[in-house]
Amino acid sequence: MTKVRFHCSTTLDGYMAAPNQTLEQPFGDGIQGPLTDWMLKQRFIRENFGLGEVGEDGPSNDVIREAQSNIGATIMGRNMFGPVRGEWPTEAWNGWWGPNPPYHTPVVVLTHYAREPLVMEGGTTFYFVTDGVESALTQARAAAAEDQDILVAGGANTINQFLAAGHIDEFELHVVPFLRGEGERVLVGANLKLEPLRVVDGGEVTHLKYRVLK
Amino acid sequence: MTKVRFHCSTTLDGYMAAPNQTLEQPFGDGIQGPLTDWMLKQRFIRENFGLGEVGEDGPSNDVIREAQSNIGATIMGRNMFGPVRGEWPTEAWNGWWGPNPPYHTPVVVLTHYAREPLVMEGGTTFYFVTDGVESALTQARAAAAEDQDILVAGGANTINQFLAAGHIDEFELHVVPFLRGEGERVLVGANLKLEPLRVVDGGEVTHLKYRVLK
């Protein structure tokens, strides 16, 4: 049975990005290091991003490896796909991740602007869906094998839409020890009862995993 | 060396209270059970509130006993002291807690409306301070022994003011497995680097303790 999941790195006050997101600092001011440094040290991420196989092999590596396993299709918001806003000016922007993105699945990109599918190396194909979250979810389910999960990759606004609509079955927060106070916050606008699945103390990051009760 | 601390029960999305707070439901709609049920089961709380000594004696009891230990003075916002707003209509409202409140320390109440100190049983005296958080903190420090801590008891708005002003040294969140989506949120408006001190898995509640780095 397919689960719809997300996992994300967030400050303790729920921020996944700060103001002033640009091409050079896609997470905005003063937050990229706290949110991503711990993750880029993990062996699984280093292997998957081609950063070399040296990396940490502790509890956070196990968490991130599990979170990225058994994914049949990925969904993301357009702002996670890239900094381009409005009509696609050219089709030159192919995502942040180079020719071989770390998804290796069909990736449904939520956008208001149509674009032809974009086939990348390594099994990643970006499909641009313009008719909303329900349609994106239907297309992701159709693309994934029956026993594989759908990952809502981000950003915060996309996760919040899926959560508030009751589409999320499970999620895991990677909580980093910062309060940011402003930016894009996750877990906004949902009224849901949860079941704690586990807590993993990763030292500089705390992993909190929940099931959504329906 | 006196530390200024807070600890609070919060939903995973940071809410300490929901809309529609009244005398009958001081936490607002649909949130009091999730926030307080786990706490009212703990042996330490049952003893301290006169609910009987039967209670749970597990990791959450240890956490709450520690959090309530070594407190020399308490600070709270007026809305935590009671539902009365504006001028004190009579002085009949003496807090939610009966003749022997569970503080057993001087309690500085932040308010815009002056009132004479209110001496209760068991060592609790409420002092009403009308000139802001700095003054409240100064008075709380003066009232506490040098080796005892100041507890900022709540509510969310009062905690947020102390946090944003850089006055908090340590805090612990008791995170309950709910998303509430609206109400009074804690950890709002601060931009601070933290150090994780510990994570305690209490089953239905997760305790996250941090030091504020200065």
Q: Residue B150: enclosing H or E segment and its boundaries? A: strand B149-154
- Tokens 């009966």 locate to B98
Which pair of structure tokens corresponds to residue A93?
A: 């922007």
* pLDDT at A210 (0 to 100): 98
Chain B hits for A180, CB-CB cut-off 8 Å, are 191
The ipTM estimated for the assembled molecules is 0.94
Contact B26, B20 (CB under 8 A): no
pLDDT tens for residues B58-77? 999 999 999 999 999 999 99
Closest CA to B198 of B4, B106, B67: B67
Chain A nearest-CA residue for B178: A193
* pLDDT at A25 (0 to 100): 86
Mean residue pLDDT across chain B: 94
Chain A nearest-CA residue for B173: A12
Band (B89; pLDDT cuts 50, 70, 90): confident
Q: E-strand spans in A70-176?
A: 71-77, 106-110, 118-119, 125-129, 149-154, 170-176
* pLDDT at A111 (0 to 100): 95
Task: Tell me the DSSP string of A21-76.
Answer: --SS-TT-TT-HHHHHHHHHTBHHHHHHTTS-S--B-SHHHHHHHHHTSSEEEEEE
Chain A hits for B14, CB-CB cut-off 8 Å, are 13-14, 187
Chain A nearest-CA residue for B203: A196
Question: Per this entry, what is the length of chain A?
Answer: 214
Residues of chain A numbered 174-213 and touching chain B (CB < 8 Å): 175, 177-182, 187-196, 198-199, 201, 203-204, 206, 208, 210
* Distance of alpha carbon A110 from alpha carbon B127, whole angstroms: 55
- The shortest C-alpha distance from A67 to chain B (Å) reads 20
* pLDDT at A85 (0 to 100): 83
Coil, helix or strand at residue A179: strand
Chain B hits for A12, CB-CB cut-off 8 Å, are 173, 187, 194, 208, 210
Mean pLDDT for B99-122 is 95
* Distance of alpha carbon B54 from alpha carbon B86, whole angstroms: 40
- The shortest C-alpha distance from A178 to chain B (Å) reads 5
Residue with the bigger pLDDT between B118 and A90: it is B118
Residues of chain A numbered 21-80 and touching chain B (CB < 8 Å): 30
Percentage of chain B modeled with pLDDT above 70? 100
Chain B nearest-CA residue for A173: B12
Mean per-residue pLDDT pooled into runs of 10, chain A (214 residues): 94 95 87 94 90 90 97 96 84 88 95 94 96 96 95 97 97 98 97 98 97 96
Nearest to A204 among B12, B179, B196 (CB): B196
Q: Say if the Cβ atoms of A12 and B187 lie within 8 Å.
A: yes
* Beta pairing class for B71-77 and B149-154: parallel
Query: Side chain identity at B126, as an amino acid letter?
Result: F
With a cut of 90, say whether residue B48 has pLDDT above it: no
Q: Say if the Cβ atoms of B190 and A175 lie within 8 Å.
A: no
Lowest-pLDDT range, A23-27, B12-16, B156-160? A23-27
* Distance of alpha carbon B183 from alpha carbon B162, whole angstroms: 19
